[in-house]
Structure 1
Amino acid sequence: MIPILAEFAIIGKDLSLLENVKIIVDDTNNIIEIEESSREIHNNVALIPGFFNAHVHAADIGLRGAAYGSLNELVGKEGIKHRYLNQMSEDQLNESLKRAFQEAINSGILGWSDFREGGIDGLKPYPVEDSLYHLAFGRPSNRELGDISKFSNIGIMDVKAYSEGEIKILLKNINRKSQKLFIHASESLNLRKTWITDFGVSDIKWSLDVLKPDAIIHVTHANMDDIVEMSKTKTGAIICLRSNQFTKTGTPPVESLVESGLPLGIGTDNAMFSKLSLWDELHSLKNYIEPERLFSIATIEGAQLCGIEWGISKRNTNFIELQIPKHVQVRDLKEWIINNGTEKDILKIWR
């Protein structure tokens, strides 16, 4: 048994702030006990839940530093990313994923939702299955839509990904009880405008009416009508602010999304141009969302969007041991994490 002592800890799915905490883990790092110590602990250590990256494309990390251009040039069907992935061998895919896993874990991301291109072949087993809690979203090819039971979850590129007939096949075969469905929408302003012209509704509204997704990614150009419709169906929104800034596609209506009460998550998006760090996302979003809610979105809420129970508990051992400054008080812990914390403050990852 290993005792872990901390001056502060953020515990459970309600993210309770506790002082003088002792966590006991066994030899396999499973939590056996969580208790408030009877004596004061002054070790400048805080225990916090691991971050959950609600949307990432991990496999393209090998293009880091070499991917520039418009959104379509980067991630379009004939873009840089797809040309790169299409010529990648299985060994190269595994090496890319190992690199992405390590970068994520080192930064405190202990769970993620990963979009994998290339149909069923793109969903090759992860190289280190137990190193990070992962949810894989596959992108079925047109020929694979008739048998999507092989896909654990479905991730759709955008509203133009499939024809009307193919959409009907997908919806007929998806198992809503066991398969999540996420889609990118309103990331591209041009696509949004074209869709409104052609169909009379936004790509977000069309997605809600036709696909009924569990979450919509980006919503960069969502308006209040879109957000109201998402609220009616309790459809989640995943914010990828740094990605939108890199691709120059715009800034999502973060304040409106927060005020709406929608379930939210944060994603780093494509690893080829966004470092796998939720610290960086937190620093980018801190002027839009108050610290308490932002910390929740980066941990509990993002995981819940994917149907995953999160937070430090006997059922979840994924947590971070942080070094904190002496002046930080328990009431200020989340604010300090949002404004000042970095991966350099990590003492140890427990998983």
Structure 2
Amino acid sequence: MKIYGNILWKGEFRKGTVVIKDGIIEDFRKERDFDFRGTVIPTFINMHTHIGDFWARDEPKGGIKEIVGPNGYKYKILRNRKKVYEGMRRAMRYMQKEGISHFVDFREGGKDGVELLLEVSRGFSIKPIIFGRGVYKEVEGLGLSSVSDYDREYIISKVEEAKRSKKLFAIHVSERIREDIDFVLSLHPDFIVHMLEATEEDLEKVSAARIPIVLTPRSNMFFGKVPNIPRFLKHNILLALGTDNGMFSLPSILREMEIAYKLSKLYGYVAPEEILKMATINPRKILRIEDNEIGKKARLIVFRRLMTPFELVNKSTILDIKKIIL
């Protein structure tokens, strides 16, 4: 298979032809030689989801603590196993159609919750990267809600268990209130989520520790909060995008990119190419996924026409996708 067009190759858009055989990239050429023509980017990776509550139909009422905090509204939603199962399947069907190849789910419900997502994912090409509330052999990582929700000794013991088991570790930080970044960084997370209430000093420390941050703009906006994306980039922090709670956000990276780009204009400017990287290249760096290089697996989205980065971020839809290679 040969695909010619605008290709996001090694972090830059280049005109050329990518050659794929048996799912592996064989070559990248400048010559115009193709079976398909269009715009080619790596598959999206949704870096933060909670798809267990996707089935919820009623408008959640209250603030962050009342809706997603311990014993909040979302935990009532998660009690109905049949509806959780059906909702997760709908969410995964949508993500797969949009060209999302992986999604990082912070899975509630203990081992049963993890096993339910694994059961749901059978038959899908899209891969769940599961961060459990506990450390189980089936998960890729430990994903905790917040340092404010647990005893410090408990957090330390869980993180030590994760490190011993060679699992990744991530945690929500400073979403509702500012939290102790020194304690968080002492845990050596692989990435952190939100940091909306962080101070400049907090961000300087995160940058110095080279810890990536995952942002979820649409979910934040539901709670009346707006992430200042240029501020994070000013500190040279590696950023990625996620869609967060399924209760009030479609797990769409296309929508997330558009909102992220437009919100950034409230505080300055972020180039559409940078937003695209937050949905494609940066997550691969965080999760250490190696693909889309010569000799490695091809995971690509082929759009039907030649599109600029601005169009991809602001005006592309599922209808523009010609082919998804997983």
TM-score by structure 1 length? 0.82
Q: CA 1:170 to 1:38, structure 2 compared with 1: closer, same or farther past 3 Å?
A: closer
| Whole-Å separation in 2 of the counterparts to 1:312 and 1:97 | 31
Q: Deviation per CA, 1:132-166: give whole Å up to 9, x if none.
A: 133100012xxxxxx65564310111112321332
Aligned to 2:240: 265
CA distance in 2, matches of 1:312, 1:106: 23
For 1:340, the equivalent position in structure 2 comes to 315
Please tell me whether the aligned partners of residues 148 and 173 of structure 1 are also in contact (alpha carbons under 8 angstroms).
no
Q: CA deviation digits over 1:80-116, x for unaligned, max 9?
A: 111111x232x54433322111111112212111110
Using the TM superposition, give the Cα deviation of residue 52 of structure 1 relative to its aligned residue in structure 2, in angstroms.
1.0
Q: More deviation in 180-189 or 40-49?
A: 40-49
Residue 90 of structure 2 corresponds to which residue in structure 1? 99
Choose which of 51, 55, 62 in structure 2 pairs with 1:69. 62
SS state at 2:26 partner = strand
Which is greater in Rg? Answer: 1
Which residue of structure 2 lines up, in the alignment, with residue 7 of structure 1? 5
Distance 1:7-1:139 versus aligned 2 partners, 3 A rule: same
Summarize the Cα distance change of 1:21–1:161 in structure 2 as closer, same or farther, 3 Å threshold.
same
Is the deviation greater in 255-264 or in 127-136? 127-136
Query: For the structure 1 residues 63 and 5, does the alpha-carbon distance in structure 2 shift closer, same or farther, using more than 3 Å as the test?
Result: same
Secondary structure in 1 matching 2:54: helix
- For 1:205, the aligned partner's letter is D
Q: Which residue of 1 aligns with 2:267?
A: none
Separation in 1, partners of 2:259, 2:32? 38
Asked whether the equivalents of residues 212 and 238 of structure 2 are also in contact (C-alpha less than 8 Å), the reply is: yes
Shift of 1:17: 2.5
RMSD: 2.4
Secondary structure at the aligned position of 1:127 is classed as helix
- Aligned residue number for residue 207 of structure 1: 184
- Shift in Å at residue 16 of structure 1? 3.6
Any gaps of 5 or more consecutive residues in structure 1? 141-146, 193-201
Task: Kindly indicate whether the alpha-carbon contact (under 8 Å) linking 1:97 and 1:126 is maintained by their aligned counterparts in 2.
Answer: no
- CA gap of 1:216–1:324, structure 2 versus 1, over 3 A, is same
Is the 1:50–1:299 contact (alpha carbons within 8 Å) kept by the matching residues of 2?
yes
* Segment drifting more, 211-220 vs 174-183: 174-183
Aligned position for 1:17 = 13
Distance 1:282 1:310, change over 3 A: farther
* 8 A Cα contact 1:56 1:268, kept in partner: yes
Q: Which residue of 2 aligns with 1:231?
A: 207
Give the whole-Å Cα distance in 2 for the aligned partners of 1:135 and 1:122.
13
- 1:35-69 C-alpha deviation (Å, 9 max, x unpaired): 32634669761121111111111111101454343
User: Contact (CA 8 Å) 2:3, 2:37: kept in 1 or not?
Assistant: no
1:34 counterpart = 2:27: yes
Give yes or no for contact 1:321–1:346 (8 Å, CA) kept in 2: yes
Q: Does residue 1:164 correspond to 2:152, yes or no?
A: yes
Given that 2:48 and 2:214 are in contact with CA atoms closer than 8 Å, whether structure 1 keeps it comes out as: yes
Contact 2:218 2:259 in 1 (8 A): yes
For this pair of structures, how many residues does the alignment match?
317
Residues 300 and 310 of structure 1 are in contact (CA less than 8 Å); yes or no, is this contact kept in structure 2? no
Normalising by structure 2, we get a TM-score of 0.88
Question: Which ranges in structure 2 are unaligned for 5 or more consecutive residues?
Answer: 265-269
Instruction: Check the 8 A contact 1:181/1:215 in 2, yes or no.
Output: yes
- Native 8 Å contact 1:70 1:247 kept in 2: yes
Question: 3-state SS of the aligned residue for 1:255?
Answer: helix
Q: Secondary structure at the match of 1:77?
A: coil
* Structure-1 separation of matches of 2:39 and 2:170: 34
Residue 199 of structure 1 corresponds to which residue in structure 2? none
Describe the shift of the 1:340–1:92 C-alpha distance in structure 2 as closer, same or farther (beyond 3 A).
Answer: closer
* Mapped contact 1:113–1:306 kept (Cα < 8 A): no
Q: Cα distance 1:228–1:265, how it changes in 2: closer, same or farther (>3 A)?
A: same
Report the counterpart of residue 152 of structure 1 in structure 2: 140
